[in-house]
Amino acid sequence: MTSRPERKSVGENSNTAKELLLLLILSTLWGASYSFIKVGVETIPPVTLIAARTVIAGLILTGVARWRGLNFPGDRRTWARFLFQACLNSVIPFTLIAWAEQTTDAGLAAILNSTSPIFAFLLTLLVTRHEAVTGCKLFGVAAGLLGTCLVVGMQALDGLGHQMWAQLAIVAATVCYAGAAIFGRNFKGLDPMLPAAGSLLCGAAILVPVSLALDQPWTLVPSTRSVLALLALSVVSTALAFVIYFRLVQTLGSIGTTAQAYLRVPIGVAIGILFLGETLASTAWLGLGCIVVGVAAMTLPAPRAARRHA
């Protein structure tokens, strides 16, 4: 007898719709972060902006972890790993992006930063070699790197010098994110909220003294616009986004959640165009298309073989 396919109940359909809506919200929150950074660095130095971001987001996530009844590990080895993860996932990349966005548009930052899955694959291929090499992934790498070259190579001609270095700094930040994704495999067995909060707190411990020494933040007079951008960046695009992300990992799975990696690119570009008046050259649009296709090829699941029926 052939079994009929089971129909999803109204509740199941509504739950799926809810999770997909959350995925869109997450993509929007992370896509908007580049515009928040762009506005924040108008009157707040990059190091101080990122130090405040890590402090605020780290304290919020710590509060959420406590509310959930989670306890941080007490051994030094785990906290050393939190510290290293902080360098890869917040201290270095956050600061590089904030510094770069003093001269680079938020839309370009969103495009360049979306290539992290591609660099993650290249690093695993060269270092850990645990990632299977497939034709689809190789195509994704080629398309993504081509897109990056189109964005950096052509855009840099309009601002040769400082702007080129700023865009390369964003690429370097993206490589850091890729390394963080690989190193994050060491936190298996821990609730994801703990390394997220722990690494942000460690990042704050590094950045706050640097901010005090370099910028003397008590002497700054930031605009209301920059302060609001900082709060939105910390509360909405970091703390809230992490909470939504961890929920989606449990409901949609890791593969489904990676869809935000290429959803956030057009969203980030659109926010920069609509709210900051940015424009993209034709080569940047072409590079955007190549990167979105490349990241999609890197993150979409391979087609399964015919399913076995019980």
**Span 263-282, pLDDT tens digits:** 788 888 889 989 999 887 77
Contacts of 59 (CB under 8 A, 6+ apart): 201
263, HSE (Cβ side, Cα atoms, 13 Å): 17
* Alpha helices per DSSP H over the chain: 10-40, 46-67, 76-86, 92-100, 106-113, 116-123, 135-149, 155, 162-183, 193-214, 224-231, 241-251, 253-257, 260-276, 282-299
Q: Which pLDDT score, from 0 to 100, does residue 124 have?
A: 76
Residue 219, Cα to own-chain centre: how many angstroms? 31
Q: What is the pLDDT of residues 211-263, one digit of tens each?
A: 999 999 999 999 999 999 999 999 999 999 988 888 787 777 655 666 676 67
Number of Cβ within 10 Å of residue 300's Cβ equals: 14
HEC states along 67-79?
Answer: HCCCCCCCCHHHH
Residues 99/38, Cβ–Cβ less than 8 Å? no
Could you tell me the pTM of the whole model?
0.83
Number of Cβ within 10 Å of residue 13's Cβ equals: 11
Residue tagged 């051994």 (tokens): 75
pLDDT at residue 14 is higher than 50: yes
pLDDT at residue 131 is higher than 90: no
Collapsing DSSP to helix, strand or coil, 90 comes out as helix
Residue tagged 């987001």 (tokens): 57
Average pLDDT over residues 15-24: 82
